[in-house]
Structure 1
Amino acid sequence: MNHYDFDLFVIGGGSGGVRCARISAGYGARVGIAEERFWGGTCVNVGCVPKKIMVHAAEYGQWAREAPAFGWPKAEIGRHDWVGLAAARDHEVMRLSGIYDRLLKGAGVTTYDARARFLDSNTLDVGGKRITAERIVVATGGCPMRPEIPGAELGLVSDDLFELKELPRQVTVIGGGYIALEFASLLRGLGAEVDLLYRQSLPLRGFDLELREAMAEALQLQGIRLHPGDAPSRLDRDDQGGVIVTTKNGVTLAGGTVIFATGRQPNTRGLGLENAGINLGRSGCIPVTIQQASEQAHIFAIGDVTDQLNLTPVATAVGHALADTLFGGKPRRANFQNVPTAVFTSPPAAMVGLTEEAAAADGPIEVYVARFTPMRHTISKQPRKTLMKLIVSVPSRRVVGAHMLGDDAAEIMQGIAVAIVAGATKEDFDRTIGIHPTAAEEFVTLRTMTRRVGADG
């Protein structure tokens, strides 16, 4: 007889932890899980879901502005109802969070609305109760960071956006990654004046260079004031209660709300990992093997707490694979190759596979690029362009990268990702019939090579 209270205990009720717990219980394991803040984790409560709802709200304003061109002259824009949006958003978040709780209980998982902390490598303090487990999974995710500058406490972090009682009229967003760009875009779409300050010469470090250039142009066309190659040096309060940002380049941005989107760190503080014999890695993450095991073979870590690939669907896939391995008799690992991702700006961007720069380092490639104004915007006379790009390995003929900036980019890229994961060649794309008239058909009608680059290019 197993002398532990549980076969598996999961710390963290986000997407990865919940999936791991639920699937493990489905295999007959005795599973417990603790969540100290909210079921569903960052994504459901202060991340992907509420953000996307606000992105949709901003898009409705864009559609209303374009409607007269399509014969709807009375589609007028008034002042946005922030309170109404917040109420609808929070109701949906509460509904989804409740679903996570019910899924766990329905699977037979014992849930704890409490903080869990290691006492030793098999023992946890869970809300004051001593609990033992044969295996433990840490899935506590990440948390936003503030830079170490004077006055940093005057700025908000990403979680705080969803607590605001009204739309800030003037916002400075600091950062050049996903969260910064999405917040800048949706706040601008809802009517705020927005400045975007980031260290690099272009936003979205790690994305394809051509897409980054197109994104900078799109943000400016939306009316966002860009400040590339700069960073805040201090924050101060002004006489009216606003926050003044002074930058390292001597620029002063005055009078509004400041939101830091300058990165996240693994949420490991206070877990007592030292009591379990686990040493933290870079930025406080838990180093793991390819089987997600820590330096203690029976303690695992998944999701953003490992700082592997910080995306919700990746954490979910890893959690499922770990449950299959530990209790399902089906040892496997989640695939970290060709993971599609999207940035929900206006317009959105999405990609899967290699950037042109990375692909060219592996050998000769062909690059196919289309840049055009979509039908909707030719009618409405809005200056919004779409960029679509395919990268093809010359030796294998496989499409190794796809990139898009434009309406519905995320929806389109999900389908393209299936083809790239399956190893489709450029000739497979070429013989696929397009759906006309759509933007997506461009991916299967790109016939003229834009350039050839790489080792023998």
Structure 2
Amino acid sequence: MGIEEFDVFVIGTGTAGKSVAKECVEEGLRVAIADNREYGGTCANRGCDPKKVLVGLTEILDRADKMKGYGITKLPEFSWKDLMQFKKTFTVAVPAATEKDMEALGIKMYHQSPKFLDENTLSVEGKTVKAKKIVIATGNKPLELPIPGRDLPITSDDFLELEELPESMIFIGAGYIGMEFAHIAARCGVEVTIIEGESRSLNNFDEDMVKHLQKASEEIGIKFIFDSEVTGIEKLQTNYRVTANQKGKKIELKAKLVVNTAGRVPSIDDLDLEKGNVEFSKKGITVNKHLQSPSNKSVYACGDVSASEGLPLTPLSSQEARLVAGNILDKDREKTVDYPPQPSVVFTLPNLASVGLNEKQAKEQGYDFRLEQKLIPEWFNAKRINEEYYAYKTLVDKESGLVLGAHLVGPDAGEMINMVVMAMCGKLTCETLKGMIFSYPSWGSDLKAMV
């Protein structure tokens, strides 16, 4: 059998990979795509979308609990089994629908992770293929714990498939995945403990806002154990035992289930990148300002797997995919990365949201800024739903009057932060924002008093 040749070979069928493949084939190129898991990628199958469906139930439970005695006389009952069936209505059809779209466009599909044989040659499904351009869009995968018993904990992928919830769970890692899934479990009645190697949770977010979220987390029963390095996991008769080193002291925890939420790493182990002369690091595929491999100009990387300045966010993957496709096709549009303000949200309850600079970054960059910071449970929007944790911190450049950064905690912070993004992208001054008329009483209207 001869070697099959393509103009573009895309590895990964998530948001980034699909976008590049579709645009290239629509421009008349011969395109192939491959994935070693179900087509459709992390976000739609086992990430953002199904997670948010589960969060939807906890929003109802949380709202009812806060309004108990203020109109709610009985808390709602729920069925985890029914919730999971509802979740499946969003995920089950994704792989087949994705493949149907690819087939209709004439994209050749493979169901295995390719391996590089040389700079333009891949081995996939026992076949050898060549491509003028190769796009790596394999995303991230759960970090494997380098400890005895590493195969015992489940991951966030598995959590989303749980047929029933256990009585107790230990989450290893207090990043955004650990916090979000711990909140879901705790609000559904699970006894939750989070063990974290750092001195606090959510290390990449504003410390003051995280403190508010941690207090809210503790009030729903989540226990935190910080400064603790997990050293082993054992399966007992009915429980799992997690052993950790907390500043030289050995501690042991037991629970019915353990979840590895220690983080995610680039999914590149199966690619044999060295043979393709593709440089990489712990952060992912090394790329230049064109999202192109500097060591192999035939290779591009976009989405979570690229070691770019972009955050691991689905909307960012779409932006990077558009840039890569534009470069391959030599489109008359932006050819180098220029990232707009990138918001990041932790979908706990309350939400934690952030965009732009924090205080340290603003000082390092030499800004003379005004800082606004306050815990505001007495503001109407929080008070009307009996929400105790509603807070903000905003940084405003004194010279220009522009917002440098915003950090929010609140029930609708994930939506409110989008208005800050619009203000920052549009270079709207605080005076301009204060002069606007927003609908009231709405969460968005509160932003005028936050800047």
- Matched to 2:303, the amino acid is G
For residues 81-122 of structure 1, the C-alpha deviation after alignment (integer angstroms, 9 at most, x for no partner) is 222222221231123344433433344433233332222222
- Matched to 1:268, the amino acid is I
Are residue 370 (structure 1) and residue 374 (structure 2) matched? yes
- Matched to 2:48, the amino acid is C
Tell me, yes or no, if the aligned pair for 1:367 and 1:392 is still in contact at 8 Å: yes
1:428 match: 432
**Using the alignment, how far apart are the partners of 1:243 and 1:4 within structure 2?**
50
1:355 match: 358
Residues 39 and 86 (structure 1 numbering): CA distance in 2 closer, same or farther, change over 3 Å?
Answer: same
Tell me, yes or no, if the aligned pair for 1:433 and 1:444 is still in contact at 8 Å: no
What is the SS of the residue equivalent to 1:119? strand
1:338 match: 341
Are residue 125 (structure 1) and residue 130 (structure 2) matched? no
What is the SS of the residue equivalent to 1:5? strand
- Matched to 1:210, the amino acid is D
Structure 2: any 5+ residue segments left out of the alignment?
Answer: none
Q: How does 1:29-108 map to 2 (within 5 A)?
A: 29-66=29-66, 68-69=68-69, 71-73=71-73, 75-78=74-77, 80-108=78-106
Residues matched between the structures, number: 440
Residues 320 and 98 (structure 1 numbering): CA distance in 2 closer, same or farther, change over 3 Å?
Answer: farther
1:161 Cα offset (Å): 1.0
- Matched to 1:317, the amino acid is Q
Which region of structure 1 is more displaced relative to structure 2, 170-179 or 221-230?
221-230
**Using the alignment, how far apart are the partners of 1:399 and 1:377 within structure 2?**
24
2:162 match: 164
Tell me, yes or no, if the aligned pair for 1:69 and 1:380 is still in contact at 8 Å: no
- Matched to 2:229, the amino acid is A
- Matched to 1:320, the amino acid is R
Determine which of 303, 314, 317 is the counterpart of 2:316. Answer: 314
1:11 Cα offset (Å): 0.8
For residues 45-78 of structure 1, the C-alpha deviation after alignment (integer angstroms, 9 at most, x for no partner) is 11111111111122222233345555453x5433
1:380 Cα offset (Å): 5.4
Determine which of 417, 431, 438 is the counterpart of 2:421. Answer: 417
**Using the alignment, how far apart are the partners of 1:281 and 1:109 within structure 2?**
30
- Matched to 1:167, the amino acid is L
Tell me, yes or no, if the aligned pair for 2:138 and 2:268 is still in contact at 8 Å: yes
1:401 Cα offset (Å): 0.5
For residues 382-415 of structure 1, the C-alpha deviation after alignment (integer angstroms, 9 at most, x for no partner) is 5x31112221112222111111111111112122
Which region of structure 1 is more displaced relative to structure 2, 338-347 or 222-231?
222-231
- Matched to 2:286, the amino acid is P
**Using the alignment, how far apart are the partners of 1:126 and 1:329 within structure 2?**
33
**Using the alignment, how far apart are the partners of 1:193 and 1:269 within structure 2?**
35
- Normalised by the length of structure 1, the TM-score is 0.90
For residues 276-328 of structure 1, the C-alpha deviation after alignment (integer angstroms, 9 at most, x for no partner) is 12243236x22111111111101111122223332222112101111122213
2:241 match: 244
Residues 446 and 293 (structure 1 numbering): CA distance in 2 closer, same or farther, change over 3 Å?
Answer: closer
**Using the alignment, how far apart are the partners of 1:370 and 1:107 within structure 2?**
53
Q: How does 1:199-218 map to 2 (within 5 A)?
A: 199-218=197-216
1:167 Cα offset (Å): 0.6
**Using the alignment, how far apart are the partners of 1:72 and 1:218 within structure 2?**
21
Tell me, yes or no, if the aligned pair for 1:234 and 1:246 is still in contact at 8 Å: yes
- Matched to 2:333, the amino acid is K
Tell me, yes or no, if the aligned pair for 1:70 and 1:379 is still in contact at 8 Å: no
1:164 Cα offset (Å): 2.1
Are residue 225 (structure 1) and residue 227 (structure 2) matched? no
What is the SS of the residue equivalent to 1:200? coil
Tell me, yes or no, if the aligned pair for 1:235 and 1:243 is still in contact at 8 Å: yes
Residues 24 and 32 (structure 1 numbering): CA distance in 2 closer, same or farther, change over 3 Å?
Answer: same
- Normalised by the length of structure 2, the TM-score is 0.91
**Using the alignment, how far apart are the partners of 2:23 and 2:142 within structure 1?**
29
Tell me, yes or no, if the aligned pair for 1:138 and 1:300 is still in contact at 8 Å: yes
**Using the alignment, how far apart are the partners of 2:87 and 2:307 within structure 1?**
29
For residues 148-192 of structure 1, the C-alpha deviation after alignment (integer angstroms, 9 at most, x for no partner) is 122222222222212322112101111121111111111111111
1:451 match: none
**Using the alignment, how far apart are the partners of 1:341 and 1:95 within structure 2?**
28
1:139 Cα offset (Å): 0.9
What is the SS of the residue equivalent to 1:154? coil
For residues 203-226 of structure 1, the C-alpha deviation after alignment (integer angstroms, 9 at most, x for no partner) is 111212221222222211222111
Residues 436 and 116 (structure 1 numbering): CA distance in 2 closer, same or farther, change over 3 Å?
Answer: same
Residues 420 and 331 (structure 1 numbering): CA distance in 2 closer, same or farther, change over 3 Å?
Answer: closer
1:135 Cα offset (Å): 0.6
Percent sequence identity over matched residues? Answer: 29
2:397 match: 393
1:123 Cα offset (Å): 1.9
1:290 match: 289
Residues 178 and 245 (structure 1 numbering): CA distance in 2 closer, same or farther, change over 3 Å?
Answer: same
Tell me, yes or no, if the aligned pair for 1:22 and 1:103 is still in contact at 8 Å: no
- Matched to 1:323, the amino acid is A
**Using the alignment, how far apart are the partners of 1:115 and 1:18 within structure 2?**
16
**Using the alignment, how far apart are the partners of 2:386 and 2:332 within structure 1?**
58
